[in-house]
Amino acid sequence: MKASPAPQRIRAAERWLKGSRMRLVGLLLLMFVTAAFAQTDDSVSIGWKDAPQAVTEKIDCGMEPSFVTRRPFAGGFVFAAQCPGNHANYIQALVYTDDEQGGKARLLLFPGPGKKSDPADSLSNIRWFPKQREVTELFVNPESDDICRSEGRWRLDAKAQPQLIYWRQTRDCQGKSGWRVVVDRRR
């Protein structure tokens, strides 16, 4: 007597369900991991002409940006304005204020890794870490004969002044090898 096809269909359905459950578990895991590593973005876009004058007069990018973004950060607010960049760098000048109206506005200056290096008045390809009061940049300069790629990390101190806590650099423009750590003051 020939076996009924029903047990085969049941086994096929069980395999499909098991695979579906695994895909669902994987999708849920991906959603939670993505949410955990995602940066919160509480930024608000404001037209340049609507931004506080105390903020706009601190920014000198060689052009007038069409807008600024404002985000709560380190007990105050940071206004960011895009400056001219290139295909590899989205450059922004950052102004820290005590309130949303631009009270006590001051351009943030970011110290470099060397004692003789001038502080930067803008950063490129910024990532924000509000809980740690930290901001990072990734700068790529493919036209350089020396350092092509660098990564910096600054923590805003109690007076909201950036303190360099990490810097690494490489001659490899792809950033896959040759990294040299120049500053490491992370805790």
pLDDT (tens digit, 9 = 90+) per residue, 100-131? 999 999 999 999 998 899 999 999 999 999 99
Given this model, what pLDDT does residue 59 score? Answer: 96
How do residues 62-90 score in pLDDT, each as one tens digit? Answer: 999 999 999 999 999 999 999 999 899 99
Given this model, what pLDDT does residue 40 score? Answer: 53
Given this model, what pLDDT does residue 140 score? Answer: 96
Q: Is the pLDDT of residue 166 over 60?
A: yes
| Higher-confidence position of 47 and 34 | 47
| Rounded (5°) CA angle 84-182-153 | 50
Percent of the chain with pLDDT over 70: 78
pLDDT band at 38 (very low <50, low <70, confident <90, very high): very low
Nearest alpha carbon to residue 99 among 162, 160, 155: 160
Q: What are phi and psi of 185, to 5 degrees?
A: -115, 25
Helix (H, G, I), strand (E, B) or coil at 22: helix
pLDDT band at 187 (very low <50, low <70, confident <90, very high): confident
Given this model, what pLDDT does residue 6 score? Answer: 60
In angstroms, the Cα distances linking 162 to 19, 41, 124, 139 are: 50, 20, 15, 17
Q: Is the pLDDT of residue 31 over 80?
A: no
Given this model, what pLDDT does residue 5 score? Answer: 57
Mean pLDDT calculated for residue range 45-65: 96
Domain residue ranges of the chain, discontinuous segments joined by +: 44-184
